[in-house]
Amino acid sequence: MKIDVQLTDKNKAYIIKNLYPLFLYDLSGHYGSIPNVHGIYEDSDDYRTLNDQYEVQNIWWEKPNILFPYLILVDGIPAGFVLIATPPHCNKGIDYFVNEFFLIQSLRGQGIAERAANIVFDQFNGNWELFTNPLEKNIVGQKFWRKTISNYTNGVYIEEKGGTFDGYKLIFRFNNSGKHSHSKALG
């Protein structure tokens, strides 16, 4: 199984946008959310179509070197994405923020997500942060991040629960400045 992680440009943006509703559907199971009156997983009824939702996501391709939209490919097939933000789109003192991370369900539990996360982490050295849902419904996600970050950092990371700009979350922070890159080249 070949795992590639590619930084996308506007020409490939549609692939991540196509996967995004699947990501939001996954999150609905963790948060108990339901679609808006138009059948779109968004907080606002202003989103009437998936195209409306796509337009909001364009920011990821409008700020190169600040926002990094990565596509996860497994054997050449789109399987997920990782959206990385840098200042000013993350907390003070944080260099890199995992804004969104998604792998399709049929490929989970095979080490693909951890490998993809490691590839992305290796692209940038500095202070990293990510949040996940702290509720029992997301125990799988919590265990995934705990294991992935612990393996990546040899157990040197901070984990705490607290308030964030996105509500109460389980927060992970680590610094990989002293880490040698596993894989600088992206497919």
DSSP states of 22-43? HHHHHHHHHH-----TTS-SSS
Which residues does residue 164 pair with via DSSP β-bridges, in sequence order? 167
Does residue 163 fall inside a structural domain?
yes
In what side-by-side order are the strands of the sheet with 77-85?
3-7, 67-74, 77-85, 96-103, 127-132, 167-175, 158-164
- 172-to-19, 77, 131, 165 alpha-carbon distances in Å: 25, 29, 6, 14
Does residue 187 fall inside a structural domain?
no
Does residue 47 fall inside a structural domain?
yes
CATH number at residue 56: 3.40.630.30
What's the pLDDT at 183?
Answer: 43
How do residues 40-79 score in pLDDT, each as one tens digit? 888 788 888 888 888 888 999 999 999 999 999 999 999 9
Does residue 181 fall inside a structural domain?
no
pTM of the model: 0.90
Does residue 185 fall inside a structural domain?
no
Q: Based on the structure, what is the number of domains in the chain?
A: 1
What residue numbers bound the domain in which 117 lies? 3-175
SS3 177: coil
Does residue 109 fall inside a structural domain?
yes
pLDDT bucket at 180, cuts 50 / 70 / 90: low
